[in-house]
Amino acid sequence: MMRKRILIIGAGAAGSSAAQALHQSGTDLEVTVIGAENLAPYNRTTVNKGLLSGAVDLENIILPGMDLPGYAWQLGTNVTALDPSTRTVELENGATIEADAVLLATGAEPRALTAAVDDGARSRVLRLRSAADTQRLRALTIANLPGHVVIAGAGLIGTETAAVLLEAGCQVTLTDPSPLPMRNHLGHTIAQWVATAHRTAGVDFRPATTITEIRAADEALLVSLAVGNSLHAAVVLASLGVTPATGWLEGSGIPLQAGRRPGAILVDQDQRVEGLSGMYAAGDAAAVPGLDGKPARIEHWGAAISQGRSAAAAILRDLHGEPSEVGSTQPLIPPATASYSTYVHGTKLTILGSPANGVREQFILGNLDSPRFALAFFDAEDRITGAVGVGGARAVNQLRSAIARRAHAAELETEASFEPVGGPQ
C-alpha cells in the first residue's frame, strides 16, 4: 500500500511538534517539513532573552528529538502558492509538492513601523522574531556598548527586551501608543504596576507616544516622536506585535479571519481548516473556536505545541479512519484557559485565560504594596474570564478550572476572599 504523504509548512513550534507527534505514532508516512529559516527547529522564546543576553547560544536552543528517520526537512525554503483543492504547493524555485494532508504552520511576522525611515537609517531599524534578528541586534547594541536603543512597543516582547538590554548596559527608551503598557493582557491595575516597574528599573518609558520619522544623523539615528521632540539612538527596534504569516494564501481559497485581527486561518476544534478536506492549520497562523464560538488566536509557545499535536492527531484520524492516541498526553489548550508567563525586570507575571474580556477586576491575593499579588477579571455577567499574578502564580493557577467553566463571582466568593479594585477599568 502506498504511504500517505503529509506536508507540513512551517518548522516552528507548531510544525515541529506535529512532525514529532506523527513520528511517535509509529505510522508509516511520507512526511516533508518546509521551513523558511535555514535552521533546525529551535526555541524561539529565547530570541529576546537568553539568546540576546548571551546566556545561551544557538546550539543550546535547538529543539531535541527532531532527528526523525525518514522525514524530509527542506529548510531555507519558502512556499509561494497553494491549491487546497488538490493539496499542492509551489515552492519559490518553481517545484511543486502534492500531499494527502497539508498542515499550515507558518507562524506570524512582526508588524512594521509606520514611521518614515530614510535609506541611511534602514539598516539600524530592526525587528525581533528570529535568531538572525537577535544576531543583528546584538551586533549593533551589546557588542558596541554603551548604546541607546529606542523600542517602539511596550508589549510582551518590548518589555522583556528592554529588561535584557538594560541589564547588558544599554540605555533604553521604551515608547508605546497606549497610555498604559499591556493593558489588554494585564488589566488597568497591573499595567500601572508595569509602567512603574519600567521607570524604577531605569527605562525611559514614554507612553501615549509613537515614532513618526527616523533619519541617519552621522553615526546615530535621529528619532522623531509624535509629541514633538526627538532622540538620538544607535538602534530602533520595532516591537508592535505580530500578524499571521498568511499573506501568500490570499485568493487561494483558504478561509482567513476578518475583522479587527485579520489574517489567521479559520479552523475547527481539531485544527481542520473550515470547509477543506485534508487541510489543517496550527500555531500563530490559526484561529481556533473560543468558548463563545468566535475565532481566537493564541500567540504563545505552549499553545502552538498543543495545536501542532492536535493537528497531527486529526490528520491520522482522517487518513486512516480510526482513533489516534497522538496528542492525548498534551491536550489542546482552549483560549479560555490558555496560560503564559513573562518577566518584568525580574518579577514573574503569570497570565491565565483572557483578562482582556473582563470589565472589572478584583484582588485575589495581596495588594499593590505586597511583594506578591494577583487579580481576577470578570465580564459583564460577573463570570470570571482570566487572572494575572505578579509573583503569585499559585493563586492564579488555582482558578484554572473556574476560568474554563466561566464560573460566576458568587461561586468563587465561597472559596476565596476578594477585595475590589477601584479606579477606571
Last residue of a domain, one of 240, 260, 294: 240
Residue 424 lies in a domain: no
Domain that holds residue 218: 116-240
Both 258 and 355 in one domain: the answer is: no
**Successive 10-residue mean pLDDT values, the chain, 425 residues:** 90 96 93 95 94 94 90 96 97 96 97 95 95 94 85 96 96 97 93 97 97 93 94 96 96 94 94 96 93 82 92 94 55 64 95 91 92 95 95 88 91 63 42
d(CA 417, CA 374): 12
Cis-peptide into 335, omega within 30 deg: no
Same domain, 165 and 182: yes
Q: In this structure, is residue 104 part of a structural domain?
A: yes
Residues 229 and 122 both lie in one domain: yes
Tell whether 137 and 152 lie within a shared domain: yes
Instruction: Give the pLDDT of residue 326.
Output: 57
Both 318 and 371 in one domain: the answer is: no
Whether 121 and 188 share a structural domain:
yes
Q: Is residue 340 part of a domain?
A: no
Q: Are 118 and 214 in contact (CB under 8 A)?
A: yes
Q: Are residues 298 and 401 in the same domain?
A: no
Inside any domain, residue 341:
no
Same domain, 138 and 93: no
CA distances, 51 to each of 109, 193, 344 (Å): 19, 27, 17
Q: Is residue 26 in some structural domain?
A: yes
**CATH number of the domain encompassing residue 182:** 3.50.50.60
Q: What is the CATH number of the domain that holds 409?
A: 3.30.390.30
Q: Which of 240, 257, 291 is the last residue of a domain?
A: 240
Q: Determine, yes or no, domain membership for 425.
A: no
Measure the CA–CA gap between 170 and 147, rounded to whole angstroms.
5
Among 316, 335, 354, residue at a domain's last position: 335
Mark whether 182 and 273 lie in a shared domain. no
Residue 91 shares a structural domain with residue 154: no
CA-wise closest residue to 237 among 134, 339, 325, 333: 134
Total domain count for the chain?
Answer: 3
**Whether residue 218 sits in one domain with residue 140:** yes
Q: What are phi and psi of 96, to 5 degrees?
A: -125, 150
What's the sign of the alpha-carbon dihedral 137, 140, 141, 147? negative
Give the dihedral of Cα atoms 196, 202, 203, 206; nearest 10 deg.
60
Do 255 and 231 share a structural domain? no
pLDDT score of 331: 47
